[in-house]
Structure 1
Amino acid sequence: MSGGGYVHRPGIHSESACQCNVLAALGHDIDEHVVFGLDGGFGFSYFPTRGSTPDIVVGKQVVMPLRAARLLGVAVHAHTPRSASGLAAILDTVPAATTRVDIGLLPYWGLEGRASFGGYFVNVVRATGRGEFEVSDPARDTTVLVRADDLDRARSSRNSPPLNPNWRTYTFSSPRSSPRLELVAPVAVRTLSREVLRPGSRSLGIPAMKVLTTTAPSWPATKRGEVEDVDLQGNVITASALARQLLHLGRQIESFGTGGGMFRPMIARFLTTVSEACGNPHYAEAADLFEQSAEHWTGLGKALLARSAAADDAELGGLVDWVVDAVRAAMELEKRALAGLAAVQGRS
């Protein structure tokens, strides 16, 4: 097919938007927040790193869980093409291939490898035959051409463990039928509630948020020295490791495919839709709590983006305190929302 029938549409979250665009090319339109909610990967992940490297914070707990596809009756095929020719061969049979990449190594992001995130997805639409691929990135208004060797570097990056891309690529089949949201959504909400409240790992969910609030105060002592970074305009700068940590966290909250607010507005929209589909106001009550949580996340993320790059040591210390306070406030709201959703499931 090599892109036949595929239309690029900007989106909020890379995984969900990529899936929506491929499904649309296969003849099935579905709202992005619905795909996001049905996937059940929403939550929180925190992975401290050694030395001055920025800690990893993600507003999800599973990368490309593919639960939405199963609930929608869509068959998914996983591939690991380790060459440009292998990727091009896949594109001969599908409208686009959903491909995991490290955005720090995609030239058009302007990060030049100084900030890495390997849990990002783009749709690769076609091989041009001139050593380039046409890439549909939900963060952009139009598609972009990427050199094959640059795309291979982004697909094979080892710069952001445990979120390395590992060459992963997915293709989708046409849905068998239109899903009944009132039936499939409660299944996804049950998964969300259980896995965020009691994930079984201190790196995930509410336990991970607690770990972040206890670890962040140590950043002034652990994130030390001068490092190279890229500012919001794409310029290479020298900054303190602590400033880079805070700027990177701001990007993780607001810029790296979350739509702002660490995905919380998206899950609120999903729960509002579920409330309407099921005729159950309790889902809407949880949505309101996630909206309140999103205000804390967005306020923090915007402050880190605006202030961390030029802040002195005292201001950086104040921003660290803000991290702790905002995450604690958001965590309490989210615990209430999740407990309420668990109660809804118990009454179902």
Structure 2
Amino acid sequence: MSDGNGYVHRAGIHSESACQRNVLAALGHDIDEHVVFGLDGGFGFSYFPTRGNTPDIIVGKQVVMPLRAARLLGVAVHAHTPRSAAGLAEILGTVPAATTRVDIGLLPYWGLAGRASFGGYFVNVVRATGQGEFEVSDPARDSTVLVRADDLTAARGSRNSPPLNPNWRVYTFGSPRNSPRLDLVAPVAVRTLSREVLKPGSRSLGIPAMKVLTATAPSWATTKRGEVEDVDLQGNVITTTALARQLLHLGRQIESFGTGGGMFRPMIARFLTTLFEHCDNPGYAEAADLFEQSAEHWTGLGKALLARSACADDSELAGLVDAVVTSVRASMELEKRALAGLTAIQGRG
């Protein structure tokens, strides 16, 4: 906790939802992280193939920091792009904390040494210490951590994770003007979620992107070739194959990079369960159950990739690629059913 400003660090599952929850709590409004996640409407799927042997980017969301939850809560949000430590420190003088986007590969305490990048991550910056460091509240940790100003600036300005580069973005929040009625505002978020995941208008997003992944993954054996450097789960630099690195990175995206496991599917299931409790519509509970079933496929895949990718031989790697295709197809069918059911609820409403 930063002295005197009311901010209390709490660990969380999804970085941007947990960061918003913690800032809102400091401003006097306590709301569950999974409710922020559901109201924000960024849930879904994104797949961005890359050229050469660089790992393809696969994310369990479709929008980074959409701020729809804030709008539904009546919270004013201000966006900033300070490029210097001094500029960031100046912003912190007026708010309990500032939420900033970072590339976790360049935050030393993540132990990735710049060899793995993900620029869609968020932390709250609580204060400047005055000694060349910032106190950072990362939802993945049990307590705040001090980060050198130069390291934080590098993580905020990283260009290593296209199309998910941080681009210096910083957000500050005003006090909530009202307490939301979930029975009124949550169906709006569900309507948006269903439409944008089923028919996003882009083959890189939603259900279409899952189809593209199942069609593309079998080609990884020929496109992800050669020896490369990576970082293992203990933060040690290792030499591995590009295919093994691709599979390990997918495992991290499913289980490790701020998803809480299961590619965010358990989290959206909890949101839908909460909505069922407020609206008493069994359709929300049915969709939640389908997403829980999907989460089991994602979690099984993610754990297998994390446990076996780094030490697998060519035959085992081929088997893991097959598992990617099989698991994603199974999840896709379950999620299509869930989203169709949610769409039907909205139609009846």
TM-score by length of 2: 0.99
Q: Aligned runs of 1:101-140 on 2, under 5 Å?
A: 101-140=102-141
State the match for 2:21 in structure 1: 20
Distance 1:304 1:339 in 2: 30
Do structure 1's residue 322 and structure 2's residue 289 form an aligned pair? no
Q: CA deviation at 1:3?
A: 6.7
Q: Deviations over 1:236-271 (max 9, x none)?
A: 000000000000000000000000000000000000
| Residue of structure 2 in register with 1:171 after alignment | 172
Deviations 1:79-124 (A, max 9, x none): 0000000000000000000000000000000001110000000000
**Which residue of the partner structure matches residue 241 of structure 2?**
240
- The residue number in structure 1 matching 2:267 is 266
Consecutive unaligned residues of structure 1, counting only runs of 5 or more, are none
Give the letter for the 1:242 counterpart.
L
Separation in 1, partners of 2:185, 2:66: 16
AA aligned opposite 1:105: L
Q: Tell me which residue corresponds to 1:296.
A: 297
Q: Tell me, in whole angstroms, the C-alpha distance in 1 between the residues paired with 2:282 and 2:90.
A: 48
- 1:305 equivalent in structure 2: 306
Once residues 4 and 287 of structure 2 are traced to their aligned partners in structure 1, the CA distance between those partners, rounded to angstroms, is 40
Once the 2 structures are TM-superposed, how far is the Cα of residue 39 of structure 1 from its aligned partner?
0.2
Distance 1:210 1:53, change over 3 A: same
Equivalence for 1:338: 339
Q: What is the letter of the counterpart of residue 292 of structure 2?
A: E
Give the Cα separation in 2 of the matches to 1:248 and 1:73. Answer: 37
Report the AA paired with residue 299 of structure 2: T
Percent of matched pairs sharing the same residue:
88
TM-aligned CA deviation for residue 177 of structure 1: 1.2
Q: Which amino acid aligns with 1:299?
A: G
Report the secondary structure of 2:263's partner residue: coil
CA pair 136-110 structure 1, distance change in 2 beyond 3 A:
same
Paired with 1:65 and 1:282, the residues of 2 have a C-alpha distance of: 26
Secondary structure at 1:165 match in 2: coil
Find the counterpart in structure 1 of residue 191 from structure 2.
190
TM-score (ref. length: structure 1): 0.99
The AA in structure 2 aligned to 1:218 is: S
- Cα distance in 1, alignment partners of residues 4 and 295 from structure 2: 36
Q: Distance in 2 between matches of 1:150 and 1:260?
A: 27
* Matched residue count: 348
3-state SS in 1 of match to 2:303: helix
**Match for 1:256: what amino acid?**
F
How big is the alpha-carbon RMSD for the aligned residues of Structure 1 and Structure 2?
0.8
Contact 1:2–1:93 (CA under 8 A) maintained in structure 2? no
Please identify runs of 4+ aligned residues in structure 1 that moved more than 6 A.
none
Q: Distance in 1 between matches of 2:217 and 2:16?
A: 28
In structure 1, distance between residues paired with 2:313 and 2:105: 26
Give the equivalent residue in structure 1 for 2:33.
32
The letter for the 2-side match of 1:296 is H
**Residues 52-84 of structure 1 deviation map (CA, whole Å, 9 limit, x = unaligned):** 110000000000000000000100000000000
1:279 to partner: Cα distance: 1.1
